[in-house]
Structure 1
Amino acid sequence: MLQIDSWKRVLIWLVCVAGLILALPNAFYTRVEQSNDAIAAIEIGADTPENQALAAQWPSWMPSSLVNLGLDLRGGAHLLAEVQVEDVYANRMEAMWPEIRDTLRPERATIGTIRLQPSEPDEIRVRISQPEGMARALEVVRGLARPVTSLTAAGQNDIIVAADGSDIVVTLSEAEKLASDERTVRQSLEIVRRRIDEVGTREPTIQKQGIDRILIQVPGIGSAAELKSIIGTTAQLTFNPVVNRTSDQNASAGIGNKLVPSIDEPGQYYIIEAAPVVTGEELVDAQPAFDQNGRPAVNFRFNTSGARKFGDYTRDNVGSPFAIVLDDEVISAPVIQSHIPGGSGIITGRFSVEESTQLAVLLRAGALPAGLTFLEERTIGPELGQDSIDAGKVATMVAFAAVLVFMALSYGLFGIFANIALILNVALIFGLLSMIGGTLTLPGIAGIVLTVGMAVDANVLVFERIREELKTARGPSRAIELGYEKALSAILDANITTFITAVILFAMGSGPVRGFAITLGLGIMTSVFTAIFVTRLMIVMWFERRRPKTIEV
């Protein structure tokens, strides 16, 4: 006999109601989106009457999660960036000089004086005055070598140390360069993602392409230029000792130093030590603020090691200027007034409020390890996105209407039950996408359209099986029960194999392919649920109420 436990009935309807409630905000997309943005603005301090009015557009007790629209639906910016991995080699060699110098100093009796020599960006040359001590010097410097942190280069060292006359030449090994390239691109990828997430953009597509390129697609952003302003700055912050100050842009900096311009004082240049005392990598927080004169500034705070180095330097150099350098430009060069032990401070300069906020975002997200060269940039306007949405709507509505008509004509009342379940199925898909914060793209719409057909397929299998059982079974109740039992294996087999395909597409694909895989996978789960449970529950409830002697499918 047909029978479904009461708790199962309640659970099935609760799932359907929850799906409808979660999907409901998408029917009022613009209103809910404006309300969400206003609430986010109020939380960060922009509590204006306009934002209060916008926030009140949607009830606070209702779900407010939306399906994010992809770049092809909403418009936005597309960038293809190439990471300049060679920059890291030069920075690495530059940072090694203090370490090499401190290692060789105890050996002066054997090797004589130590001088840094001009060298190529990817190497460092150190000249010793007593060439007869070269063997000892090479042995000491080779002690600085570390194993390459890469599975493919196990057992190899990161540097190669050789002699060239009176010079010690240190270069990166090929294995270390390959490992460094991989680390640099991976780190750049993560920092670009953090910078974009900091400004609240929804569901960007940020992925590695090729060996040293990054594809960046951000829906809902105004232009490619705006996106470049967010991610295009290297934001390499360093704190360097000041050697001298000059107005001559051609002044000789000397070996181990560099000449950098001042942003705060146009026409002025600073000669600073190339090796920084502390870098932005040791920052743990940066927030926009105002200095004692009410001018925009940025508060910063170091981690434990950075705070220790910063405190030690300020203790030993009270009265000396200290340059705060951002991307090889001095933004401030204050004189150290006293020991700063807490590892925190303030960056002042000629900032606007917007510039100080942007600088804080960049510093908080971290410095790009290398520069980015933008090879391709496109701005996709909202008009194109709206055209795509309209085309997708038409395709979905035509497919949906055709399926509804077919089911009603082919299976009568049972077909109407299947149509109700089909509508619930689509609502459940949107409810799940909203709940997980999924992104809907044009391929995703294609996945929904395909799901509509597959959901009907499960009902067709059941109804055809019921037809066959009506010819042999003792009554309609037994025919319906056998129809669901015998069709179940075919439904599960077909949907499980398709779900496996969706999982593979998601794991192996990227961008639009993943969007298709997500909607297809979610659609399979909801279509199986509605076909096996929802349609069956409606048929059982109808049968219990009417108790027909015969049925027609």
Structure 2
Amino acid sequence: MFESRQKVISNQYPAWKYLLLLVVIVLGLIYAAPNLFGDDPAVQVSPAKSVQFDASTEKTIESTLAKADLDPKSLKYQNGQFLIRFHNADDQLKAKSVLKDVLGRQAVVALNLAPATPEFLRAMGAQPMYLGLDLRGGVHFLMDVDMEAAIEKNYNRYVDEIKATFRKERIRYLGVEYQQDHLMAKFRDAASVEAADKALQEAYPAQFNLIQKPDEHALEIRLLPKTLEEARTYALKQNITTLRNRINELGVAEPVIQQQGDRRIVVQLPGVQDTAKAKEILGATATLEFRLVEEKGDAARAEKTGYAPNGSRLYHFRNGRPILLKRSVIVTGDNVINAQSGIDPESGSPEVTVTLDGVGGRKMLATTKENIGNRMAVVFIENRIDTIEKGDETIKKRVTTKDVINAAVIRGQFANRFQITGLDSPQEAQDLALLLRAGALAAPMEIVEERTVGPSLGQDNIDQGMMSVVVGFLLVLVVMVWRYKVFGMIANVALTLNLVLIVAVLSLLQATLTLPGIAGIVLTVGMAVDANVLIFERIREELRNSSVQSAIHAGYEKAFVTIADANITTLLAAVVLFSFGTGPIKGFAITLSIGIITSMFTAILGTRALVNALYGNKPVEKLSV
């Protein structure tokens, strides 16, 4: 019985626990290390839509930089784009200007900040955590979606369909027009009003609220509240999707694009230095057109002479290749309801499946019925504002670009659902589906608030946040050593390891650190020693009635339940904050949650390992606690 008790209070860990602790420490140091190296000013060169880079592109970039007497720190091709690092911001700005002039519309040239992590750490997947807008600097936009325009657009979409219904049922009407928040259909007599009411109820059973106005021989047509709410929701979600796709052109790491209220969108772009470019991309409006190709004309000759045959217009693909299209438009992007990329099961080639609304389907059916074997082109039209610097004067110029993104042969007649084939790659199919789905804003938007956080302000925030962590950390270290002597120093080692592990986990998860996140780390620093305080005070009490080894064992065993209860309840509160909070609160909750888990590991397993190594199974008469 005596031998069994001695075995329990020997305070020795098995080798596997020491090995586990060592592995965690090494991994923590590796994945926390990238945050020590900072960022390099860089230029990111991404291909424009449907453009692919090759070896000649790299040679063009290298020769352009050499002619401008620029010596980049490195030039690397990764993830389909070039990342060029420079030694200073002046070279970065100069390189961006010369590359933009040379590459033109074949590429999107954007300023960026690239992590300066050494290659051997990057090879192990170690990357620094992202810094939020309040730390890294960047721009903040609050954009208001014009819901009234979205509703009007939704009503106008039904005008042609309602007229077609009246013509089909041979109902004589004077006109159908939009008036404020409803459609008004006017007729010659009361009988026509009755017939129109019945026809619309059958054609649109769950979409309209119909009100007859016999005195005016008119029918008031209102969309049901549910349909209106769906239209508002669609406009907001579609605009968010469109903004997200446009922001991808800026090469922004971890952009924040989220809904605020029922009609506003918050856009935060951390690290963006070219704020004018950001505004141009966010403010641009785009649409799509489907046109027949003019097969008889000579596009090369039209480009050379500047004259297109009658009934046609000269357009260009994104690679600059000319093509003649007919003047008449079949349908526009407003008629596209959905578009999905996929693979043609028969040929195995990439394709895009497009779904049109009723009006677009009827127009497409009539066109394709008469043009089987001819080609149909998809034209992407974008209106943007270019900012031109002339001396001290800034000139804003509105520019409209019209690019042909696809021209495929019509294989058979189709209406509101069809496939676009003849695409070069699955990536091109995905890009085309993306443009068809989100090429245009569902409703106009206005920037109602704009804030720019400069890099200096971001650095001030970082410095102040780091100072708060360091001061809090040092104060805890001093108090623990003063209060608990050697055991206090052990707790300080565990606290240091805890900070390393928090940073490592944030980096491993590629989380975004913000000022509230730093606040969570500061709070964790204070809370991390709570477990050790409970353990050490328990050891002190046990020393009055027990041996040293028994006191150590009892201190850790009896305090564990209290420590677990306290940390679990705090972790539950952090989970609730993350579930129901917004961006800043989520950042605080994430760092707090990670800090609680790592502090449990270091305060219990870490300090126990050190205590066991110093005092375990040794003839110690007194503890410095």
- Shorter-chain TM-score above 0.5: yes
Corresponding residue to 1:519 among 591, 594, 603 = 591
Corresponding residue to 1:540 among 612, 617, 622 = 612
Match of 1:46 in 2: 82
Match of 2:402 in 1: 331
AA in 1 matched with 2:282: I
Match of 1:145 in 2: 204
AA in 2 matched with 1:511: G
How many angstroms does 1:316 deviate by?
A: 3.5
AA in 2 matched with 1:523: G
- Any unmatched runs of 5+ in structure 1? 148-156, 243-261, 287-299, 347-357
AA in 1 matched with 2:523: L
How many angstroms does 1:240 deviate by?
A: 7.0
User: Given the alignment of the two structures, is residue 58 of structure 1 paired with residue 123 of structure 2, yes or no?
Assistant: no
Q: Aligned equivalents of 2:375 and 2:541: distance in 1?
A: 94
How many angstroms does 1:19 deviate by?
A: 2.2
Indicate if the aligned counterparts of 1:71 and 1:217 stay in contact, CA closer than 8 A.
Answer: yes
Match of 1:136 in 2: 195
User: Given the alignment of the two structures, is residue 21 of structure 1 paired with residue 21 of structure 2, yes or no?
Assistant: no
- Any unmatched runs of 5+ in structure 2? 1-8, 47-73, 88-113, 294-312, 317-325, 343-349, 384-399, 413-418, 424-430
Match of 2:449 in 1: 376
User: Given the alignment of the two structures, is residue 440 of structure 1 paired with residue 513 of structure 2, yes or no?
Assistant: yes
- For the residue of structure 2 that corresponds to 1:393, the secondary structure is helix
- The superposition leaves residues 251-307 of structure 1 with CA deviations (integer Å, 9 ceiling, x where unpaired) of xxxxxxxxxxx9979xxxx99779748745544469xxxxxxxxxxxxx96425469
AA in 1 matched with 2:468: A
Indicate if the aligned counterparts of 1:42 and 1:48 stay in contact, CA closer than 8 A.
Answer: no
Indicate if the aligned counterparts of 1:25 and 1:66 stay in contact, CA closer than 8 A.
Answer: yes
- For the residue of structure 2 that corresponds to 1:549, the secondary structure is coil
How many angstroms does 1:537 deviate by?
A: 1.3
Q: Aligned equivalents of 1:464 and 1:137: distance in 2?
A: 86
Match of 2:228 in 1: 177
TM-score, normalized by length of structure 2?
0.68
Match of 1:530 in 2: 602
Indicate if the aligned counterparts of 1:323 and 1:330 stay in contact, CA closer than 8 A.
Answer: no
Match of 2:106 in 1: none
Q: Aligned equivalents of 1:337 and 1:86: distance in 2?
A: 37
Match of 2:286 in 1: 235
- The superposition leaves residues 397-447 of structure 1 with CA deviations (integer Å, 9 ceiling, x where unpaired) of 122122222222322222222111111101111111112221111121121
How many angstroms does 1:101 deviate by?
A: 3.5
AA in 2 matched with 1:303: T
- In 2 relative to 1, CA 175–162 (structure 1 residues): closer, same or farther, beyond 3 Å? farther
How many angstroms does 1:103 deviate by?
A: 2.8
Indicate if the aligned counterparts of 1:314 and 1:340 stay in contact, CA closer than 8 A.
Answer: no
How many angstroms does 1:312 deviate by?
A: 4.6
AA in 1 matched with 2:134: D
- The superposition leaves residues 310-363 of structure 1 with CA deviations (integer Å, 9 ceiling, x where unpaired) of 9756533548998947479793799x99636651589xxxxxxxxxxx999866
Moved more, 449-458 or 192-201: 192-201
- In 2 relative to 1, CA 133–197 (structure 1 residues): closer, same or farther, beyond 3 Å? same
Match of 1:354 in 2: none
Moved more, 316-325 or 4-13: 316-325
Q: Aligned equivalents of 1:63 and 1:538: distance in 2?
A: 30
- In 2 relative to 1, CA 81–524 (structure 1 residues): closer, same or farther, beyond 3 Å? same
User: Given the alignment of the two structures, is residue 202 of structure 1 paired with residue 253 of structure 2, yes or no?
Assistant: yes
- The superposition leaves residues 15-59 of structure 1 with CA deviations (integer Å, 9 ceiling, x where unpaired) of 332222221211223269999x989853214388989x9999422
Moved more, 73-82 or 505-514: 505-514
- The superposition leaves residues 54-107 of structure 1 with CA deviations (integer Å, 9 ceiling, x where unpaired) of 999422422232211011110000111111112222222222234323433332
How many angstroms does 1:503 deviate by?
A: 1.9
Match of 2:353 in 1: 303
Moved more, 529-538 or 274-283: 274-283
Aligned pairs (5 A) from 1:474-489: 475-489=547-561
- For the residue of structure 1 that corresponds to 2:268, the secondary structure is strand
How many angstroms does 1:534 deviate by?
A: 0.9
Indicate if the aligned counterparts of 1:272 and 1:323 stay in contact, CA closer than 8 A.
Answer: no
Match of 1:355 in 2: none
Indicate if the aligned counterparts of 1:234 and 1:370 stay in contact, CA closer than 8 A.
Answer: no
User: Given the alignment of the two structures, is residue 73 of structure 1 paired with residue 126 of structure 2, yes or no?
Assistant: no
User: Given the alignment of the two structures, is residue 424 of structure 1 paired with residue 494 of structure 2, yes or no?
Assistant: no
Indicate if the aligned counterparts of 2:288 and 2:332 stay in contact, CA closer than 8 A.
Answer: no
Q: Give the superposed CA RMSD.
A: 4.2
Indicate if the aligned counterparts of 1:123 and 1:171 stay in contact, CA closer than 8 A.
Answer: yes
User: Given the alignment of the two structures, is residue 6 of structure 1 paired with residue 15 of structure 2, yes or no?
Assistant: yes
Q: Aligned equivalents of 1:312 and 1:57: distance in 2?
A: 59
Q: Aligned equivalents of 2:148 and 2:29: distance in 1?
A: 53
- In 2 relative to 1, CA 302–320 (structure 1 residues): closer, same or farther, beyond 3 Å? closer
Q: Aligned equivalents of 2:19 and 2:268: distance in 1?
A: 43
Aligned pairs (5 A) from 1:123-522: 123-127=182-186, 132-145=191-204, 147=206, 157-160=207-210, 162-163=212-213, 165-197=216-248, 199-239=250-290, 276=332, 279=335, 281-284=337-340, 302-305=352-355, 312=365, 315-316=368-369, 318=371, 324=379, 326=381, 331=402, 339=410, 343-344=420-421, 365-473=438-546, 475-522=547-594
How many angstroms does 1:381 deviate by?
A: 0.6
Q: Aligned equivalents of 2:41 and 2:26: distance in 1?
A: 20
Match of 2:157 in 1: 95
- For the residue of structure 2 that corresponds to 1:143, the secondary structure is helix
- The superposition leaves residues 199-245 of structure 1 with CA deviations (integer Å, 9 ceiling, x where unpaired) of 44222333322331122222111254332223323433343799xxx
- In 2 relative to 1, CA 314–29 (structure 1 residues): closer, same or farther, beyond 3 Å? farther
Q: Aligned equivalents of 1:530 and 1:337: distance in 2?
A: 63
- The superposition leaves residues 501-536 of structure 1 with CA deviations (integer Å, 9 ceiling, x where unpaired) of 222222222122221111111111111111111111
Q: Aligned equivalents of 1:120 and 1:445: distance in 2?
A: 54
How many angstroms does 1:382 deviate by?
A: 0.3
- In 2 relative to 1, CA 514–39 (structure 1 residues): closer, same or farther, beyond 3 Å? farther
